[in-house]
């Protein structure tokens, strides 16, 4: 049995996108599953469009995701090998130097062309089955601009041959290149790898997936506070499933369960809410310490300082924050909107806000808060947790009208229309601050 060798072969003409991650992941999973080898190959034959910064972005993104490679190649380092093969094929009569009409004055008037045998090429694709192309229409296609400048289709075939690639897993936009590549393979006497062309990932409206659908570069997801586990799990299921409804899959499980045969024929449809769902799940599996770090990193400076100075409070709000975000980056937006300020400093608000719905009598509201204050004051500091606070107030609130009791209490504590429930708030703030804020609210109502 030959060892399985797969490769991910991005062109560094753009950042690492989520669609390419799927190609990389499937290739990686298949190699790992078969104790094979996973190669990363940077395909930078297009000198004008290839950029070092994109190469760095791709490698950075793959490392972050944990899609580690066993071998690394860069096509621009391999010019000598392409040249050798061109010379070999010229000797065989399979390619030739072709004199061209220069398009512009002074332009090179030679290219290297492949002598097309003009036949029908049929290959098996693991997703689509047999695919046939009549290659006659390609004519004698160009494989290199000159001996030192191979074109993409040629470099790919030489590389896959030299590197012993057994399985090519790539996007189905490469299908039309496959017959040309097979003709070159045959001329070189290279074995034919097994092809799996993955159907495109489509936007929900079946259009081309783009940024406006929330499809970002991997490094942007990292910035936004998505976790690698979530991205990999989400991406794995776009176009493949383990044959049952299991959705939460660790990398180990994916390595075990992945199969090329189960890759779906239909285009996978992008669903940002699903990615958020996965991310929420994996965020909650993080330790409190790590979740705290991720959140702090996204706080504006002033809030971060306050959170550090009040670490006890900050520790208590981590789970509250996690309940309301689907990526750590959301905490930045909430923080910037002032949603967390009241945890660290007394809120300011106008007295009307304290009044529940159509309550217009401030003295009634203040009486209710007086009663809440008395009930809270009875609770031992050591038992100042949401359940106890709720138990202390609940019967009274039920009797006097829950909204009219709990709304002003909550507002007194947060000064915001939306916030966690008043029992959670009180327990986070602690007895002393809770009492102070309720007293301040009563004062405001009595002005």
Q: At its nearest, how many Å lie between ligand GLU and the CB of residue 229? A: 25
Burial degree of 220 (CB within 10 A; 0-12, 13-18, 19+):
middle
Tokens 């189960």 sit on residue: 262
Q: Which is nearer to ligand GLU, 209 or 409 (CB)?
A: 209
Residue 112 phi/psi, 5-degree rounding, is -110, 125
Instruction: Give the shortest CB-291-to-ligand GLU separation in angstroms.
Output: 36
Given the complex with ligand GLU, which of 54 and 221 has the nearer CB atom? 54
Beta strands in 77-224 (DSSP E): 95-99, 110-114, 120-125, 129-134, 142-146, 149-150, 167-171, 194-198, 201-202
Strand, helix or coil for residue 243 = coil
Kindly state the smallest distance separating residue 263's Cβ from ligand GLU, in Å.
15
Q: Smallest distance from the beta carbon of 192 to ligand GLU, in angstroms?
A: 14
What does the block give as tokens for 35? 């104790």
List C-alpha distances in Å: 97 to 66, 105, 162, 391: 44, 20, 24, 89
Residues facing 201 on adjacent strands: 268
Q: Tell me the closest approach of the beta carbon of residue 194 to ligand GLU, in angstroms.
A: 13
Provide the binding-site residues for ligand GLU, judged by CB under 6 A: 9-11, 43, 156, 170, 174
Rounded CA gap, 321 and 69, in Å?
A: 36
Q: How far is the CB of 161 from ligand GLU (least distance, A)?
A: 13
Partners of 133 in the β-ladder? 121
User: The tokens 């190469």 sit on which residue?
Assistant: 55
Nearer to ligand GLU, 193 or 292 (CB): 193
Shortest approach of ligand GLU to residue 211 CB, angstroms?
A: 19
Instruction: State the residue for tokens 């799996």.
Output: 196
Task: Indicate the residue among 174 and 318 with the shorter CB distance to ligand GLU.
Answer: 174
Q: What separation, in Å, do the N-terminal and C-terminal C-alpha atoms of the chain show?
A: 87
Round to whole Å and give the CA distance between 357 and 347. 20
Output 5 or 321, the one with its CB closest to ligand GLU. 5
Judge contact between 157 and 168, C-beta under 8 A: no
Measured from each CB, the residue nearest to ligand GLU is 170
| Least distance CB 168 / ligand GLU (angstroms) | 6
Q: Please, which residue, 62 or 174, has the CB nearer to ligand GLU? A: 174
Tokens at 72, concatenated: 């690394």
**In terms of CB distance, is 156 or 201 closer to ligand GLU?**
156
Smaller CB distance to ligand GLU: residue 174 or 441?
174
Closest separation between CB of residue 150 and ligand GLU, Å? 13
DSSP assignment string, 330-371: HHHHHHHTTTTHHHHS-----GGGGS-TT---HHHHHHHHHH
Cβ distance to ligand GLU smaller for residue 9 or 184: 9
Contact in structure between 60 and 219 (CB atoms under 8 Å): yes
Phi first, then psi, for residue 113 (nearest 5°) are: -115, 155
CB of 160 to ligand GLU, least distance (A): 8
Shorter beta-carbon distance to ligand GLU: residue 156 or 331: 156
- Tell me the CA distances in angstroms from 428 to 97, 320, 378, one per residue in order: 78, 10, 18
Q: CB of 214 within 8 A of CB of 193?
A: no
Minimum distance between the CB of residue 165 and ligand GLU, rounded to whole angstroms? 9
Tell me the DSSP string of 137-155: GG-S-EEEEETTEE-HHHH
Nearest residue (CB) to ligand GLU, 127 versus 227:
127
């Amino acid at each position: 049995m030959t060892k399985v060798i797969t490769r991910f072969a991005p062109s560094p003409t753009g950042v690492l996108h989520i669609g390419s991650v799927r190609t990389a992941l499937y290739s990686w999973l298949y190699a790992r599953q078969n104790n094979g080898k996973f190669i990363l190959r940077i395909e930078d034959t297009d000198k004008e469009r290839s950029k070092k910064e994109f190469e760095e972005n791709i490698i950075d993104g793959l490392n972050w995701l944990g899609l580690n490679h066993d071998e690394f190649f860069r096509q621009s380092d391999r010019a000598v090998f392409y040249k050798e093969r061109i010379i070999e094929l010229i000797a065989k009569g399979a390619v030739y130097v072709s004199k061209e009409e220069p398009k512009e004055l002074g332009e090179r008037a030679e290219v290297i062309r492949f002598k097309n045998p003009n036949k029908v090429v049929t290959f098996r694709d693991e997703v689509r089955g047999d695919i046939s192309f009549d290659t006659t229409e390609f004519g004698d296609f160009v494989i290199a601009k000159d001996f030192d400048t191979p074109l993409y289709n040629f470099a790919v075939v030489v590389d896959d041959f030299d590197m012993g690639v057994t399985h090519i897993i790539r996007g189905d936009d490469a299908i039309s290149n496959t017959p040309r590549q097979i003709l070159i393979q045959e001329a070189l006497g290279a074995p034919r790898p097994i092809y799996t062309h993955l159907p495109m990932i489509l936007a929900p409206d079946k259009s081309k997936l783009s940024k406006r659908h929330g499809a970002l570069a991997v490094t942007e997801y990292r910035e936004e506070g998505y976790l690698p586990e979530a991205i990999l799990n989400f991406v794995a299921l776009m176009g493949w499933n383990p044959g049952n409804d299991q959705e939460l899959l660790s990398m180990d499980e994916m390595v075990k369960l992945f199969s090329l045969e189960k890759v779906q024929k239909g285009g996978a449809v992008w669903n940002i809410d699903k990615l958020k769902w996965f991310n929420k799940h994996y965020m909650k599996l993080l330790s409190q310490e790590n979740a705290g770090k991720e959140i702090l990193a996204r706080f504006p400076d002033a809030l971060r300082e306050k959170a550090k100075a009040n670490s006890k409070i900050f520790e208590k709000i981590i789970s509250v924050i996690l309940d309301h975000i689907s990526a750590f980056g959301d905490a930045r937006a909430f923080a910037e909107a002032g949603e967390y300020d009241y945890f660290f400093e007394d809120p300011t608000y106008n007295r009307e806000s304290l009044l529940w719905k159509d309550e217009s009598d401030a003295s009634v509201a203040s009486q209710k808060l007086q009663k809440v204050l008395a009930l809270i004051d009875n609770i031992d500091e050591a038992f100042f947790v949401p359940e106890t606070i709720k138990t202390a107030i609940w019967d009274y609130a039920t009797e006097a009208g829950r909204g009219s009791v709990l709304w002003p209490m909550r507002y007194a504590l947060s000064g915001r229309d939306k916030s966690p429930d008043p029992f959670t708030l009180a327990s986070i703030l602690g007895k002393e601050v809770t009492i102070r804020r309720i007293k301040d609210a009563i004062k405001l109502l009595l002005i």
